[in-house]
Amino acid sequence: MSDACGCSDDKAGAGESEGVEEVVGFWQVGEVRAAAVAGVLLLAAWIASLAGGPPWLTLPLEILALLVAAWTFVPSTLRRLAKGRIGVGTLMTIAAVGAVALGQFGEAAMLAFLYAISEGLEEYSLAKTRRGLRALLDLVPAEATVLRGGGEVAVSPAELVPGDVMVVRPGERLATDGTIVTGRTSLDTSALTGESVPVEAGPGTEVYAGSINGTGPLEVEVTSTAENNSLARIVHIVEAEQSRKGPGQRLADSIAGKLVPGILIAAALIVVFGFIVGDPVLWFERALVVLVAASPCALAISVPVTVVASVGAASRIGVLIKGGGALETLGRIRTVALDKTGTLTRNKPAVIDVVPAGSATRERMLAVAAGLEARSEHPLARAILAAAPDRAAVTDVNAVPGSGLEGRLEGRRVRLGRPGWIDAGPLATDVERMQHTGATAVLIEDDGQAIGAIAVRDELRPEAREVIARLNRSGYTTVMLTGDNLITATALGQAAGIREVHAGLLPEDKAEIIRTLMARQPTAMVGDGVNDAPALATADTGIAMGAMGTDVAIETADIALMGEDLNHLPQVLDHARRTRRIMLQNVGLSLALIAVLIPLALFGALGLAAVVLIHELAEIVVIANGVRAGRPGRKTGLMAVQPSPAMEPAA
């Protein structure tokens, strides 16, 4: 929270604070309770005054109301002044003391009462939005069942250690991250990734805390403690990053920080003017009103409350946003560059066509290809190995970066790789046909002769075309970046609805293309968070997709889409745009209010109580408007997917 706002040091930390986190209900906020007591006392004084009560009855009520309300900000203001820091609390304290000096105890009490209400609402709104984020931790069950000593034992999730084996029955939530040892099931991960379709899982599958086991009993080996599992990391990272300020917040802080000293100087000059014209009391009173009229508390809180609400809302549907800076930048994005493999496509390539050449049979050609790919980790290798019934005994296999593989088979040189590195010969027409269908063509060569071509295609995600269409309708320029050949990339780009395609790129080439795009418009890069690291780091905003459980992606990306559903991309972009509009509305309203109130206060059109009331009502409006960023707009569709009732544990 900005120093310009009159908040205590205890509440003004950049991250979470104990005072904020302890708040649960509205009436648990100390400022709200104090304001309520002060309000009752002021009401009693007002009723007594209307009934013609004597001053000895109304005055003590007003003084008591002033003391109760002032307790919420005067002590913290004095502590800040002792450290050489001034803020809105300083203005309010001076105004209240000045009103008392003029004998206007009722006005001073009203000022303190209204300011206490605004402080309480500010604290409550921030605590509420932070609680929405912390609620993710409630997805962890109260106890977990583990196998110990030959039997099942119920323990607290905090007692789980890596190596423990959890027993997770249908309908139960996972207490921490782990790997399935035995059992098959469908997992509901909607609370983590925002994806409503259950995920099939079996032995060897990594699973995450908070997921709901759907259909079958599981034994899961624990891989993370409760304090460091995926849910806890999400919450801790977002809370730590909420203090990263964007341009809008830095602007608001800068204006507010410079405004407070300027207001004090202006008020002092008004008092001096009063002595010069011979009416010091009148101009002293107007100086106090100007102090309150120019208070920038609404300005100081306008952006932080919006950021906290917006980041919390995104986290609840499986989108991590690293603070206000990333959020504001995302709201300015106009070009979206997407990696092909794993982003636009499923990252599950499969062999779709096999064409042998010469005297080679389909089986022999596939066997040679499988022999070369036997130890490769490339996605294309997995597709070829899955399609080959046998593997040839290929030895001395070496990888040729950017080209393919070569080895020895029965003394002959055999190769597998891209067209161009291997001469397609009679297969040239088939290779071109494969590429035009959006497939990657791989040639196999035996002793200098091409013996066949294999077409491997990674299918587009089913939602890819609609997502790209939505981005285009929203005014974004979409670009595809890939290391694949131009013909294949163009075919896939056309299928997805992307007109601008850059193919044949190395990682450093992608980063260079991103720089070119950034020179035209603010640009976001969407990739897998690891292979596309240079481009993600270069872009105005790096968006890592499918980052659930990936430490590198979560730690390094500006934005992380925890699941594999590409629909979250336009949702979070629209959400960021809407949030940025709310920020600008709040900043504009706050500045306009100050610009209008200062001259009205200076020329006596408004008194102290009226200015305080208008100012604090405006702050309530700013807070309420900022909190809207935590609720989905009609266009964004940003909404957490609720788990299916069928997957909830039985009561």
Within 10 Å of residue 285's Cβ, how many Cβ atoms?
A: 23
Find, among 411, 414, 385, 382, the residue nearest to 400 by Cα. Answer: 414
Burial of 627: CB neighbours in 10 Å, binned 0-12, 13-18, 19+: buried
Find, among 333, 335, 332, the residue nearest to 584 by Cα. Answer: 332
**Residue 69 near residue 100, CB atoms below 8 Å:** no
Contacting residues for 398 by C-beta, under 8 A, at least 6 apart: 405, 406, 407
**Residue 469 near residue 462, CB atoms below 8 Å:** no
Contacting residues for 10 by C-beta, under 8 A, at least 6 apart: 17, 19, 76
> At 7, phi and psi to the nearest 5?
-100, 155
The angle formed by the CA atoms of residues 307, 196 and 566, to the nearest 5 degrees, is 65
Within 10 Å of residue 82's Cβ, how many Cβ atoms?
A: 8
Burial 244-273 (b: 16+ CB within 10 A, else e): bbbebbeebbebbbebbeebbebbeebbee
- Please provide the size of the chain in residues: 651
Find, among 145, 193, 140, the residue nearest to 166 by Cα. Answer: 145
Contacting residues for 284 by C-beta, under 8 A, at least 6 apart: 98, 102, 271, 274
For tokens 């003394």, the residue is 411
Q: How far is CA 118 from CA 13, 302, 498, 614, in A?
A: 18, 13, 49, 12
Which DSSP symbol is given to 334?
Answer: -
> At 549, phi and psi to the nearest 5?
85, 0
396 is catalytic: no
The terminus-to-terminus CA distance of the chain in angstroms comes to: 42
Find, among 55, 69, 71, the residue nearest to 103 by Cα. Answer: 55
Find, among 547, 521, 526, the residue nearest to 464 by Cα. Answer: 526
The angle formed by the CA atoms of residues 200, 206 and 208, to the nearest 5 degrees, is 90
> At 404, phi and psi to the nearest 5?
165, -145
Within 10 Å of residue 411's Cβ, how many Cβ atoms?
A: 7
Collapsing DSSP to helix, strand or coil, 382 comes out as helix
- Cα 455 to its chain centre, rounded Å, is 39
Which DSSP symbol is given to 172?
Answer: P
- For β-strands 449-457 and 500-502, DSSP reports them as unpaired
Find, among 576, 506, 564, the residue nearest to 534 by Cα. Answer: 506
Q: How far is CA 565 from CA 199, 471, 521, 571, in A?
A: 12, 15, 26, 11
For tokens 């995450």, the residue is 208
**Residue 87 near residue 5, CB atoms below 8 Å:** yes
Question: Of these residues, 339, 484, 540, 574, which one is catalytic?
Answer: 339
Give the C-alpha separation, 650 to 558, whole Å.
Answer: 39
> At 607, phi and psi to the nearest 5?
-90, 180
Question: Catalytic amino acids?
Answer: 339
